[in-house]
């Protein structure tokens, strides 16, 4: 049942929500509950008289009260639980608080704290958000979607929980990731919370810890595979198309073997993208664009070592390859500059363990003839660093400390300003700390990390590492695709988004070593990304045909601000 509709009074021009709930039901609806901020007239009209204390609050005073409660929590997990409870009670207040303290709270509602929360989700969950689609209820997909109380659904974030951050298979406990991503779509991108829907495809888990946990709330069975899994995903996508034909779907934290397949299979059939492949690749590319500007270098002047060729690593490598080709290099010339390292070592042509998307990244065997190796049967990371002389080092492995002091020192020999991107989440999975890079490079290294780190004083300078967070890309990408009514998301749109992000880094920020804009400017970043995507969609004939001025004004106005609307009974 729909709980409210947005209306405009034809006489006064006032916009208001026509509300179909009353009394306790209204107070229990997180989209509509204003708690102490209900006006006296609304209390009488909506059956709330006597259910609230007599004082009428403003949203600002409620946010002050909520922040006091937040500060009393003893640790980050308790702060996560508090914010989740606030979101379940009053979404507008939750987003007001989050926007007022964005830099402080993003690490709580998303990485790194969300990783800890997902590890314990069945033990800390209070209320359910979003939808859980399983092999047992997929036949009822239409009834499930039609039973939503939201007035409409424009944006879906879906996971099957198999590869949550760097933590692996967490089954339906991985729902914390789509919930967190939706929060960032709203806070950073300005997408209205009432049109966003997090979904878990609970197809079981191969995590024995969860299967043995008596409090685990997901399906207790080995993970669905093969044709049965693909049939469930197909039915899910068909249900989305029938019920939400204009919605954008974001694939989130699927395992590598299914992520590329789902993206390739559905990107032309439904407006969709994979944040782990395309989002991470685009954000990293933006950081590299800024680094090239700082170094006054070109992509073709650098040599890249990328360790970890999962979704993120492959997406990053393909973006670097695209930039090398844009600068005029051939496929073979681009191949010679990218050294991709997986568990078996450096990817080489003919490697039986290599997967399809990785083939263009494999080095020719002739290119490594004459290399000095520790083990003639395997080319490990240390061998690559010693022989390839990289100037850019990128890690997406979830192996803490992988970039050792020796590896960083060797990398520093081949560039006055080496670029080190240690991108694994959460913090304790990071390949190295910014401090380790700066010590190895006498403060000259350009650094970005997956999770936030504190600035460091070095010889009279304040050095800062950017957090290479997908939050810079996906909220604006979603806003841009929806508002421009793009029919699909292309590689050209994502490249335009990367340029828009890098262009926002100021000379003063570059002087501090920042490769991405500051988090406090995230709404302006999202608006710029949305505008860049909208222009590219228009020029490609895939979006609204509006001139630049009109397009820019639409994206600026489209960003939702958390504020209470007037209510009238419906």
Q: Give the model confidence (pLDDT) of 457-483 as tens digits.
A: 998 899 999 999 899 999 999 999 999
488 with 407, same domain: the answer is: no
- Binning pLDDT at 50, 70 and 90, where does residue 124 land? very high
pLDDT at position 357 is 81
pLDDT at position 418 is 97
- Provide the phi-psi class of 376: left if phi over 0, else alpha when psi is between -120 and 50, else beta: alpha
76 with 37, same domain: the answer is: no
- Residue 564 is assigned to a structural domain of this protein: no
What is the domain extent for residue 489?
477-503+523-558
pLDDT at position 166 is 79
Q: CA 503 to CA 517: how far, in whole Å?
A: 9
pLDDT at position 265 is 95
Contact between 353 and 321 under an 8 Å Cβ cutoff? The reply is: no
Catalytic: which of 34, 181, 256, 429? 181
The residue among 252, 270, 288 that closes a domain is 270
pLDDT at position 553 is 87
**Residue found under tokens 């006091």:** 68
22 with 117, same domain: the answer is: no
Rounded average pLDDT over 408-421: 95
Please state the residue numbers annotated as binding site for (S)-malate.
Answer: 163, 425, 469
289 with 376, same domain: the answer is: yes
pLDDT at position 508 is 95
Rounded average pLDDT over 195-211: 98
- Binning pLDDT at 50, 70 and 90, where does residue 321 land? very high
Please state the residue numbers annotated as binding site.
Answer: 163, 252-253, 276, 425, 469
**Residue 355 pLDDT exceeds 80:** no
Q: pTM of this prediction?
A: 0.92
Contact between 107 and 114 under an 8 Å Cβ cutoff? The reply is: no
- Residue 124 is assigned to a structural domain of this protein: yes
pLDDT at position 325 is 94
Q: CA 131 to CA 144: how far, in whole Å?
A: 8
Catalytic: which of 70, 80, 95, 110? 110
Q: CA 526 to CA 476: how far, in whole Å?
A: 4
Q: How many residues does the chain have?
A: 570
Q: CA 516 to CA 510: how far, in whole Å?
A: 9
309 with 351, same domain: the answer is: yes
**Residue 351 pLDDT exceeds 90:** no
pLDDT at position 456 is 92
Choice between 52 and 13, residue whose per-residue pLDDT is larger: 52
Domain count across the chain: 4
Contact between 434 and 395 under an 8 Å Cβ cutoff? The reply is: no
Report the CATH number at residue 27. Answer: 1.20.1370.30
pLDDT at position 133 is 98
- Residue 570 is assigned to a structural domain of this protein: no
pLDDT in tens, 516-557: 999 899 999 999 999 999 999 999 999 999 999 998 888 888
pLDDT at position 518 is 93
461 with 535, same domain: the answer is: no
389 with 467, same domain: the answer is: yes
The residue among 270, 297, 316 that closes a domain is 270
- Residue 85 is assigned to a structural domain of this protein: yes
Rounded average pLDDT over 183-209: 97
188 with 200, same domain: the answer is: yes
**Residue 442 pLDDT exceeds 80:** yes
Contact between 126 and 81 under an 8 Å Cβ cutoff? The reply is: yes
Report the CATH number at residue 207. Answer: 3.40.50.10380
Beta strands in 252-336 (DSSP E): 272-274, 304-307
507, burial (CB in 10 Å: exposed 0-12, middle 13-18, buried 19+): exposed
**Residue 108 pLDDT exceeds 90:** yes
pLDDT in tens, 129-165: 999 999 999 999 999 999 998 889 999 999 999 999 8
Beta strands in 304-436 (DSSP E): 304-307, 338-342, 345-346, 392-395, 419-422
pLDDT in tens, 254-313: 998 899 999 999 999 999 999 999 999 999 999 999 999 999 999 999 999 999 998 899
2 is catalytic: no
90: CB partners within 8 A, 6+ apart: 30, 33, 34, 35, 62
- Residue 214 is assigned to a structural domain of this protein: yes
- Residue 203 is assigned to a structural domain of this protein: yes
- Binning pLDDT at 50, 70 and 90, where does residue 2 land? confident
286 with 254, same domain: the answer is: no
319 with 396, same domain: the answer is: yes
- Residue 311 is assigned to a structural domain of this protein: yes
492 with 462, same domain: the answer is: no
Question: Do the strands 4-8 and 15-19 form a parallel or antiparallel pair, or are they unpaired?
Answer: antiparallel
Share of residues in the chain with pLDDT > 70 (%): 100
pLDDT at position 384 is 96
Rounded average pLDDT over 415-443: 93
110 is catalytic: yes
pLDDT at position 354 is 78
pLDDT at position 150 is 87
pLDDT at position 22 is 97
Report the CATH number at residue 318. Answer: 3.40.50.720
33 with 160, same domain: the answer is: no
Q: CA 306 to CA 554: how far, in whole Å?
A: 39
- Binning pLDDT at 50, 70 and 90, where does residue 63 land? very high
- Binning pLDDT at 50, 70 and 90, where does residue 484 land? very high
**Residue 421 pLDDT exceeds 80:** yes
- Residue 414 is assigned to a structural domain of this protein: yes
The residue among 57, 72, 101 that closes a domain is 57
**Residue 425 pLDDT exceeds 90:** no
Mean pLDDT of the chain: 94
């Amino acid at each position: 049942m729909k709980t409210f509709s947005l209306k405009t009074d034809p006489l006064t021009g006032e916009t208001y929500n026509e509300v179909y709930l009353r009394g306790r039901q209204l107070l229990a609806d997180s989209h509509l509950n204003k708690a102490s901020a209900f006006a006296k007239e609304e209390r009488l009209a909506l059956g709330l008289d006597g259910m609230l204390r007599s004082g009428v609050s403003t949203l600002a005073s409620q946010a002050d009260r909520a922040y006091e409660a937040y500060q009393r929590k003893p640790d980050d997990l308790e702060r996560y639980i508090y914010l989740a409870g606030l979101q379940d009670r009053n979404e507008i207040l939750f987003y007001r608080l989050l926007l007022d303290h964005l830099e402080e709270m993003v690490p709580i509602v998303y990485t790194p704290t969300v990783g800890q929360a997902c590890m314990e989700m069945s033990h800390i969950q209070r209320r359910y958000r979003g939808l859980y689609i399983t092999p047992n209820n997929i036949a009822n997909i239409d009834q499930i979607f039609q039973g939503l109380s939201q007035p409409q659904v424009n944006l879906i974030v879906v996971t099957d929980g198999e590869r949550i951050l760097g933590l692996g298979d967490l089954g339906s406990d991985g729902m914390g990731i789509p919930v967190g991503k939706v929060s960032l779509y709203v806070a950073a991108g300005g997408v209205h919370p009432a049109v966003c829907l997090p979904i878990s495809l609970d197809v079981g888990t191969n995590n024995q810890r969860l299967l043995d946990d008596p409090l685990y709330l997901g399906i207790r069975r080995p993970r669905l595979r093969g044709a049965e899994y693909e049939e469930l995903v197909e039915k899910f996508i068909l249900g989305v198309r029938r019920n939400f034909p204009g919605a954008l779907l974001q694939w989130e934290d699927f395992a590598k073997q299914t992520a590329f397949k789902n993206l390739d299979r559905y990107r032309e059939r439904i407006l969709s993208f994979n944040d782990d492949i395309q989002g991470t690749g685009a954000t990293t590319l933006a950081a590299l664009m800024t680094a090239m500007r700082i170094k006054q270098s070109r992509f073709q002047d650098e040599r890249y070592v990328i360790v970890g060729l999962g979704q993120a690593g492959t997406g990053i490598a393909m973006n670097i390859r695209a930039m090398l080709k844009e600068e005029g290099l051939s496929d073979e010339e681009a191949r010679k500059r990218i050294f991709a390292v997986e568990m078996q070592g450096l990817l080489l042509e003919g490697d039986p363990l290599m997967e399809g998307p990785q083939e263009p990244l494999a080095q020719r065997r002739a290119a490594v003839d004459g290399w000095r190796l520790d083990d003639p049967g395997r080319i490990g990371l240390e061998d690559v660093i010693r022989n390839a002389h990289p100037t850019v080092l990128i890690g997406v492995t979830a192996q803490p400390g992988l970039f050792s002091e020796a590896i960083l020192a060797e990398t520093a020999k081949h560039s006055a300003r080496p670029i080190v991107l240690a991108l694994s989440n959460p913090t304790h999975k990071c390949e190295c700390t910014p401090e380790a890079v700066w010590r190895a490079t006498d403060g000259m290294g350009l650094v970005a990390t997956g999770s936030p780190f504190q600035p460091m004083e070095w010889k009279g300078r304040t050095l800062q590492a950017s957090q290479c967070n997908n939050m810079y890309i996906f909220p604006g990408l979603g806003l841009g695709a929806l508002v421009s009514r793009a029919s699909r998301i292309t590689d050209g749109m994502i490249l335009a988004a990367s340029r828009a992000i890098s262009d926002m880094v100021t000379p003063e920020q570059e002087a501090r070593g920042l490769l991405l804009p500051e988090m406090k400017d995230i709404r302006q970043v999202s608006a710029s990304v949305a505008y860049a995507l909208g222009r590219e969609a228009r020029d490609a004939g895939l979006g609204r045909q509006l001139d630049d001025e009109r397009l820019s004004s639409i994206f600026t106005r489209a960003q939702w601000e958390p504020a209470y609307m007037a209510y009238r009974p419906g």
